[in-house]
Amino acid sequence: MQTDPSKMTAPAKPPIWNDPVYRGIFFQILVLGAVVLFGLYIFDNTTANLERQGIASGFGFMETTAGFGIITHLIEYSEESSYGRAFLVGLFNTLLVSFIGIVLATFLGLFIGIARLSSNWLIAKMATIYIEVIRNIPLLLQIFFWYFAVLRSVPAPRNSVELADTFFLNNRGLYSPAPIFESGFSAIPIALLIAIVAVILLARWARKRQEATGQPFHTVYVSTAIIIGLPLLAALATGMPLSWEYPELKGFNFVGGLVMIPEFVALLLALAIYTAAFIAEIVRAGIQSVSHGQTEAAYSLGVKPGVTLRLVILPQALRVIIPPLTSQYLNLAKNSSLAAAIAYPDLVSVFAGTVLNQTGQAVEVIAITMAVYLTLSLTISLFMNWYNSKMALVER
Amino acid sequence: MNDTTQRYAPGEHPDMPPPVTAVGAVGWMRQNLFSSPLNVALTLIGLYLLWLLVPPVIDWAFLNADWFGTEREACTSGGACWVFINMRMDQFMYGFYPAEQRWRVDIAFLIFAACIAWLLIPRLPGKNKVGIFALFIYPIIAFFLLSGGSFGLEHVETPKWGGLMLTLVIAVVGIVASLPIGVVLALGRRSQMPIVRSICVTFIEFWRGVPLITVLFMASVMFPLFMPEGVNFDKLLRALIGVMLFSSAYMAEVIRGGLQAIPKGQYEAAEALGLGYWRMMYLIILPQALKMVIPGIVNTFIGLFKDTTLVLIIGLFDFLGIVQAAATDPKWLGYSVEGYVFCAFVYWCFCFGMSRYSIHLENKLHTGHKR
């Protein structure tokens, strides 16, 4: 038996294979090694396979002529354009449908979310049914439904469904008047820009004044007046430089106006209706998360209902609403890739579909497509983290 | 003598019935439907909408519908033509699986249903054993049953799989495989080791950042390139791997939520007892964390179940794919709405059932963790 006091006091050093530090290093080297080896193996196989199949590599193909048409494009595009151009067309189409989809879904979701909390039993139940039905049916099925079952069965151009002689719905798409910007129109957006800057400055000044003197200022009314009034003044001053081109039935189809192709309409409807169901639940949860005591406290302080909503309930509800809402926006943008199923020319359909089939350069094409979506997701995540840190409750 | 003006001593007034307008159906309606001018207007608008929507739908789907027959010609009444669904039912369920072999699919799903029922009914004993059977042994049995090729069963190639069966196979494989991978990834993401952590974070964020459809495209065109020459792998397997990678990233985030919700004291207590990392996780942390996130796991499963429809874009005939194919069949052209409605109904039943279960679980589990 050892009784040497010097050996008792000195803590026994664990053997090196039991030391957490060395174990950690060893384990990490092992994992890293495995990942690197796996990557090398795949890289090796891929290069060998590409060589054997005679597929070129590199991003040179982006300059080559695409040679296929795209039914709807926001930027100049023809069959002589390059693959790079086709990529941009697809990207812009994705962004377009995502943006409009997000706006529509937000309004519809907000509306249904509030309806679900309505004191009116019928309205609340109808909103609940909407949510429960829509969000439990796959989005792709809904896209198919709108595209194949609804929009395919609308009449031909001659018997279009029309609304006030300005909007026409037929199996070629949804026609609406197109704005024509005449000379001098640029004054209106400039006026709008000035108005927005003015409103921001005004809001800052009003907040400072209220903090310093306690005097509130009617920022909302004045801002509305400025935002509407200034562009209106500009329009009047330049003599209304905006006219509308109405779609007209000529021969078998409509000419002129703005046309939204059925693929776009179907995708947009499905995305907006589907996402709205989720947004409605988020809005409901957000509003319910603010305890009723907050409202009662505000009322007992003599704050008016409208002001209570704006200054007490909404700021707290938004803290709960915004994070899941952004992730829904992100989902909508990612779900817009389902366009490939009905051949709306979005990024996936044009680039990962047609371009990939034509060039065969799977690795590059898929990598670019994924990179686009990843950039989008990471940007939104970064924004979210920034927002969360800004909005997080500052606790004592 | 006048009863109505009878005077009572203070405190001796008998209880009067509440006014008719405050109780019963009338009271309920006054309170819930017509409480203010705005609510009256809303109720009327709601009723009008219902009147616009409901009668035509009921008329189309039930009153005016054709239910029996074997031919397109049986549909004469102008309503829904459920004959189409009737005639194609086998295909919708099994795809192109040979008719005389379909009992194998039935058995595989009966066992699966039995396992699930056993796990869901609280009274039944031996949940652990059934769970282990369902997670580890059942997949092997199901594989041999469905694919065949041994034990005297005829081999059925995966291109013949389809319909609801394929949807369930993809969803179940996706969820069963993503659970263990998700646990490992979640642990890795919370690990102290920087290299392990960054590998896990990259993996999770990568798969969560891209849409499933690009993952499936990648699986279908790039996976064959990754394999050495001569290795050929099945389209279904490729899709399954894609779905697995995708869902494991989502699962990892759900499980991480559970891990983060475990108080630090639990870790410290486990370490104080002298448990190593793996035993601490296996015995103390994971049982609590996983139990907490069961609703989240069910929700992920619902999402995955709906997302399995995307495999039709890479050419697999899942439930929606086969309905879509049947609707474009010249023999039954024009009945796509019936197909979609039936398809939506089936998906809805599955998803709604699961979401109800998840809500039920949330309520059940909530009490234990309230502080």
Percentage of residues of chain A with pLDDT beyond 90: 17
Most confident of B54-58, B130-134, B360-364: B54-58
Write down the pLDDT at residue B247: 92
| Residue B265, domain member (yes or no) | yes
Domain match, B200 and B306 both: yes
Provide mean pLDDT across the span B109-130: 84
Average pLDDT across chain A, whole number:
82
Domain match, B239 and B352 both: yes
Domain match, A100 and A44 both: no
* pLDDT band with cut points at 50, 70 and 90 for residue B185: very high
| Residue B211, domain member (yes or no) | yes
Q: Is the pLDDT of residue B232 over 70?
A: yes
Q: Which of A383, A386, A392, A382 is nearest to A315 (CA)?
A: A392
Domain match, A339 and A295 both: yes
The residue in chain B having the minimum alpha-carbon distance to the alpha carbon of residue A353 is B217
Domain match, A41 and A102 both: no
Task: Tell me whether residues A373 and B209 touch, CB distance under 8 A.
Answer: yes
| Residue B262, domain member (yes or no) | yes
Cα–Cα separations (whole angstroms), residue B176 to A281, B145, B186, B245, B345: 28, 18, 16, 12, 25
The residue in chain A having the minimum alpha-carbon distance to the alpha carbon of residue B349 is A136
Question: What is the ipTM, given to two decimal places?
Answer: 0.86
Domain match, B168 and B236 both: yes
Domain match, B88 and B56 both: no
| Residue A245, domain member (yes or no) | no
B272, exposed or middle or buried, with CB in 10 Å at 0-12, 13-18, 19+? exposed
Domain of residue A41, residue span: 11-52
Domain match, B178 and B293 both: yes
C-alpha B176/C-alpha B169 separation (Å) is 10
Write the residue in B199, B340, B355 that is nearest to A144 by C-beta: B340
Domain match, A271 and A382 both: yes
Phi, psi of A177, deg, nearest 5? -60, 145
A131, exposed or middle or buried, with CB in 10 Å at 0-12, 13-18, 19+? buried
Q: Are A109 and A321 in contact (CB under 8 A)?
A: no
Strand partners, A260: A174
Domain match, A267 and A386 both: yes
Q: Which residues contact A343 (CB under 8 A, 6 or more apart)?
A: A263, A349
The Cβ of residue B364 has, within 10 Å, a number of other Cβ atoms equal to 12
Domain match, A120 and A27 both: no
pTM above 0.90, yes or no: no
How does pLDDT run across B35-81, given as a tens digit for each residue?
788 888 888 999 999 999 888 888 888 887 777 777 777 777 777 88
Domain match, A360 and A290 both: yes
Write the residue in A49, A137, A374 that is nearest to B348 by C-beta: A137
Strand partners, A163: A167
CATH number of the structural domain spanning residue B348? 1.10.3720.10
C-alpha B278/C-alpha A316 separation (Å) is 41
Sheet architecture: strand order including A258-260: A161-163, A167-170, A173-176, A258-260
Write down the pLDDT at residue B250: 92
Task: Tell me whether residues A366 and B351 touch, CB distance under 8 A.
Answer: no
Q: Report chain A residues whose CB lies below 8 A from the CB of B229.
A: 45, 48-49, 52
Write down the pLDDT at residue B182: 92
C-alpha A260/C-alpha A254 separation (Å) is 12
Domain count for chain A: 2
Write down the pLDDT at residue B369: 45
Q: How many CA within 13 A on the CB side of residue B15?
A: 2
Provide the b/e sequence for A189-223 (b: ≥16 CB within 10 Å). Answer: eebeeebeeebeeeeeebeeeeeeeeeeeebeebb
| Residue A5, domain member (yes or no) | no
Q: Report chain B residues whose CB lies below 8 A from the CB of A149.
A: 336-337, 340
| Range name among A296-310, B78-92, B298-312 with the lowest pLDDT average | B78-92
How does pLDDT run across A250-289, given as a tens digit for each residue?
766 776 667 788 888 889 999 999 999 999 999 988 888 8
Domain count for chain B: 2
Domain of residue B35, residue span: 17-63
Domain match, B161 and B49 both: no
Provide mean pLDDT across the span A43-66: 78
Provide mean pLDDT across the span B8-13: 80
Percentage of residues of chain B with pLDDT beyond 70: 97
Q: Report chain B residues whose CB lies below 8 A from the CB of A338.
A: 213, 310, 313
| Residue B320, domain member (yes or no) | yes
Task: Tell me whether residues A138 and B324 touch, CB distance under 8 A.
Answer: no
The Cβ of residue A326 has, within 10 Å, a number of other Cβ atoms equal to 16
Q: Which of A319, A314, A344, A281 is nearest to A101 (CA)?
A: A344
| Residue A212, domain member (yes or no) | no
| Residue B3, domain member (yes or no) | no
| Residue A238, domain member (yes or no) | no
Domain match, A16 and A134 both: no
| Residue B123, domain member (yes or no) | no
Domain match, B214 and B267 both: yes
Q: Which long-range contacts (CB under 8 A, 24 or more apart) does A260-263 make?
A: A260/A173, A260/A174, A260/A175, A260/A176, A261/A71, A261/A72, A261/A172, A261/A173, A261/A344, A262/A147, A262/A151, A262/A152, A262/A171, A262/A172, A262/A173, A262/A174, A263/A71, A263/A147, A263/A339, A263/A342, A263/A343, A263/A344
Domain match, B358 and B237 both: yes
Write down the pLDDT at residue A4: 55
Domain match, B92 and B34 both: no
Helix segments in chain A, DSSP class H: 5-9, 20-53, 83-116, 121-134, 139-144, 187-213, 219-237, 262-289, 292-300, 305-308, 314-335, 347, 356-359, 362-391
The residue in chain A having the minimum alpha-carbon distance to the alpha carbon of residue B350 is A136
A242-245 and A248-250 as β-strands: parallel, antiparallel, unpaired? unpaired
Residue A138 is given by DSSP the state -
Domain match, A294 and A378 both: yes
C-alpha B64/C-alpha B80 separation (Å) is 7
Task: Tell me how many degrees the CA angle B146-B151-B155 measures, rounded to the nearest 5.
Answer: 45
Domain match, A47 and A87 both: no
Domain match, B175 and B41 both: no
| Residue B338, domain member (yes or no) | yes
Domain match, B293 and B341 both: yes
Q: Are B186 and A350 in contact (CB under 8 A)?
A: no
Q: Which of B158, B160, B153, B146 is nearest to B112 (CA)?
A: B146
Retrieve residue B6's tokens.
């009878």
Write down the pLDDT at residue B370: 43
Write down the pLDDT at residue A241: 67
Write down the pLDDT at residue B245: 92
| Residue A228, domain member (yes or no) | no
| Range name among A94-103, A189-198, B179-188 with the lowest pLDDT average | A189-198
**A244 Rama class: left (phi>0) / alpha (psi -120 to 50) / beta:** beta
Q: Is the pLDDT of residue A130 over 90?
A: yes
Write down the pLDDT at residue A252: 67
The Cβ of residue B61 has, within 10 Å, a number of other Cβ atoms equal to 14
How does pLDDT run across A332-387, given as a tens digit for each residue?
989 999 988 888 888 888 888 888 888 878 888 888 999 999 998 888 888 877 87
| Residue B52, domain member (yes or no) | yes
